[in-house]
Structure 1
């Protein structure tokens, strides 16, 4: 099919396919929900994208996570656990971040073509959506604690306020979020770093007390079980790479001229997020040990208490609570607009594929917030480590499976197509390579976590999730000989998908269903018309009239 033909051919009134609703067209073109992010929209420099992505990790949960691990197992075990988890997260996050930035697609679209299939990745979309509302609830709980201390609001009302306040901010996509993150990041950094520096400079003995703290289990020293239990909690954050990719997909094309800045931004804002995350967890241990005698073990993991005590040592008393509350509120807003945004994408993506109907992203913003509010009202903060320890098994199994498919199956075994594919009709419904590996790894590791295989193996559940996913993913690719990755060899359009630099082509073609122009990677030929159809119209085609048949 020629470019000219595809542009001028449109469907008539008798076309059985229905045009995409105006709402779907408007919303998906606003921030490219559910689809490839075109070059014409990606106007930000690599550093602006990186700053925006890193602004989304300004959450306070790291302080609570680190504090919880440190108070339970001691500083030595906590620091080793944090380091182990950070290495795993960095290594697995790198290939995912590269694919998202290079090919301008989010983690769900990457997952489809990296071992799961068109419908198989619905499993992982639900896992990711769960991540966003779990961490929204955690951040909302922290903010409610701040509002209780600063304004006297009861916790139930603080939970409601922290949920409702993000709705106006998350209505818009990348354009609004980039401005919010860039302008608030310097303030957040100053408020977070200044008290820590002051404490260490003013009282160097705090470092010795921090390093010597043995934990409530009373064992002291570094031991494998404690390290792995702590690392399992930290590894619940492995799915954060999905939120980073929601921003990295808007990276500009990689060229010879910008490749150094491009790579710096991808590494820094992709897997590099975990460096700052690990530092925050370590600071959380430090601050919890510092205030333990003052507030007790129940309140020591609360960031609002940690920073209230830290600010109290360096400024007048009338400034302490307002600044501590300001830090918590800024952090909560920065991360929870991202949680609400990314969660809405994940839910919408799954719903649209399963029902072939696009209901609008805002509906699932509200759904995600409802789940988060329910968790907050159930006082999830009091059993935080149990929730995160359980969840991490599923998240590890998913991310390691996709990372292994990219790193091993694509580049070493060459059984998985090197270029990612996400369009309906091009992929099989389910690919056993990823689905079997993910289900087996998550099921066995969850059984271990709940002591089904004995108490001795329970701490090793995150290790089991990672190892099983890493071994099974290439094994399944070899067993299936890579037959279930692509349903078709070509998409029926003669123009190439990539340009001379290996970036997605900027050539535009007109979808004959919704009558909008889309760049080359977002369309395929239509099965029933001499025209092209965009990826969203393919997803919402209930009759399957436009979906290309499978190759022989």
Structure 2
């Protein structure tokens, strides 16, 4: 990028103008910035999957629903998460945009996707609070400090680590990955070797449900908790947008790493949840139901068998948890900052920089930690999954059915304000309806069967209604006007920086080419570029 010193031009603060810090948080990622290999991007994306909320979730499910229903719930939810994550990962990596920009062009419109920005931001701070609670439990136990002080430490140490975006995160995930895998798998190997009866304890554990028989209602409730993780694909997309260009030369490698780093995250997530059911079922009789859901005690069980000395076991277990939680919470804070940036820039036309929203997201998460959200895990995640899956279901339906099968939705992703209608009912209406109906079901107002399967109701309504809305509207609300940018690079008439074609559009207010961010932040134009335009059906 280059800048001209012109007083009439828009000026950004030093954080916003620094790509190493800002990471193109509201933009298409240009070719010049995508300097990482497919492996490096995938490794960075999978590094965040080190999180231990999976162990808390798996432990909570087995304690509540027993072995059989917990396992089936995890498997069913994992299949759905993989299936919905694949098209999102592909489009994000292909078009080099994050989940918010993808949602705008996949049936929601420019302002319609502000609601999904809040849904996604909620995912990042809810899981930050859960992961931070796990870290705080370890800090409190090891150092003997009050848990509330430990909460603050676990949250605030993340801020300086996440400021430098993808440049720093890629190195952090690369260097810590091997040690993390060793520390995670060691307890499992030790327990199976030294305590063969642990397998039978696990498979016969009936939990609070007092049954080892398959119960579809209990399995459905368990799956609903796991389905809250469906929005994790958004965090994967935040990394996948840095993928290099797909070509005939790298096609196989590109697909491999997009699948692994995109929907493939759930394979490791499913393994960790099942692993947690094994650990929790073996310690619940001695430590109780509450501690059985806390990862610090789950891993202490294995390390105590290995070392025999409590201080060594606790030190190793604490080290593992600190590494794990730093790896995931830098991702939660990073992705949350992207989402809040998108929301506030569109609604209020301000952009103080991604770093400001890192701190904002962390403070919300810290508040939830102090309120004890960890111990209401099943309810919070079960409720959240109804809304998250409605969003993802609508986006996936647009990408698969409306774009590929019906060919009503454009075959590219348009995210620029000047080219979009404020609200596209195709995805927006199904998401709202699916969320409302499934939440009503979640609270038991439609009966016990609907309550158990409320996330599935949400997915079905969103997925089926989205193509119906596309047919009814004829695709009129996808594109407000077509691009008239021809050259590969243009200088923005507002800020003076030069951007690639994909990030530019013509501005009738400024009488020249403008970048997507300056277009987003412009208050005075009142979207005059779209005055007098009537909805038109896309011709293919």
Secondary structure in structure 2 of the residue aligned to 1:370: helix
Secondary structure in structure 1 of the residue aligned to 2:453: helix
1:279 aligns with 2:247: no
Q: Aligned residue for 1:189?
A: 181
CA distance in 1, matches of 2:75, 2:425: 33
Q: Aligned residue for 2:78?
A: 86
Secondary structure in structure 2 of the residue aligned to 1:57: helix
Name which of 305, 325, 336 aligns with 2:329: 336
Report 1:67-78 matches (<5 A): 67-78=59-70
Say whether the 8 Å CA contact 1:233–1:388 is kept in structure 2.
Answer: yes
Provide, for residues 336-395 of structure 1, a one-character-per-residue CA deviation record: whole Å limited to 9, x for no partner.
011111101101110000111112222211211111111111111111110000001001
Q: Aligned residue for 1:409?
A: 402
Q: Aligned residue for 1:150?
A: 142
Cα distance change, pair 546–39 in 1 and its aligned pair in 2 (3 A): farther
CA distance in 2, matches of 1:50, 1:527: 40
CA distance in 2, matches of 1:444, 1:101: 33
Say whether the 8 Å CA contact 1:27–1:361 is kept in structure 2.
Answer: no
Cα distance change, pair 201–23 in 1 and its aligned pair in 2 (3 A): closer
Q: Aligned residue for 1:259?
A: 251
Structure 1 residue 454: deviation in Å? 2.5
Aligned pairs, number? 532
What's the C-alpha RMSD, in Å, of the aligned pairs?
1.9
1:422 aligns with 2:415: yes
Report 1:119-158 matches (<5 A): 119-158=111-150
Structure 1 residue 203: deviation in Å? 2.4
Name which of 349, 362, 365 aligns with 1:369: 362
CA distance in 1, matches of 2:116, 2:281: 37
Provide, for residues 2-55 of structure 1, a one-character-per-residue CA deviation record: whole Å limited to 9, x for no partner.
xxxxx9999976x6x744455433358741111000110111110110000000
CA distance in 2, matches of 1:348, 1:27: 15
Q: Aligned residue for 1:536?
A: 517
CA distance in 2, matches of 1:483, 1:138: 42
Say whether the 8 Å CA contact 1:28–1:34 is kept in structure 2.
Answer: no
| TM-score when normalising by structure 1 | 0.93
CA distance in 1, matches of 2:269, 2:15: 37
Name which of 514, 518, 528 aligns with 2:495: 514
CA distance in 1, matches of 2:473, 2:445: 31
Name which of 393, 396, 406 aligns with 2:386: 393
Say whether the 8 Å CA contact 1:9–1:531 is kept in structure 2.
Answer: no
Name which of 310, 316, 327 aligns with 2:302: 310
Secondary structure in structure 1 of the residue aligned to 2:323: helix
CA distance in 2, matches of 1:8, 1:546: 27
Report 1:211-226 matches (<5 A): 211-226=203-218
1:347 aligns with 2:348: no
Q: Aligned residue for 2:38?
A: 46
Structure 1 residue 316: deviation in Å? 4.0
1:448 aligns with 2:441: yes
Structure 1 residue 214: deviation in Å? 1.6
Structure 1 residue 528: deviation in Å? 3.9
Say whether the 8 Å CA contact 2:47–2:177 is kept in structure 1.
Answer: yes
Secondary structure in structure 2 of the residue aligned to 1:430: coil
Structure 1 residue 68: deviation in Å? 0.8
CA distance in 1, matches of 2:245, 2:364: 37
Name which of 456, 477, 480 aligns with 1:484: 477
| TM-score when normalising by structure 2 | 0.95
CA distance in 2, matches of 1:330, 1:549: 50
5+ unaligned residues in a row in structure 2: which ranges? 535-540
Say whether the 8 Å CA contact 1:126–1:350 is kept in structure 2.
Answer: yes
1:324 aligns with 2:317: yes
1:180 aligns with 2:172: yes
Q: Aligned residue for 2:485?
A: 493
Name which of 35, 38, 59 aligns with 2:51: 59
Say whether the 8 Å CA contact 2:442–2:454 is kept in structure 1.
Answer: yes
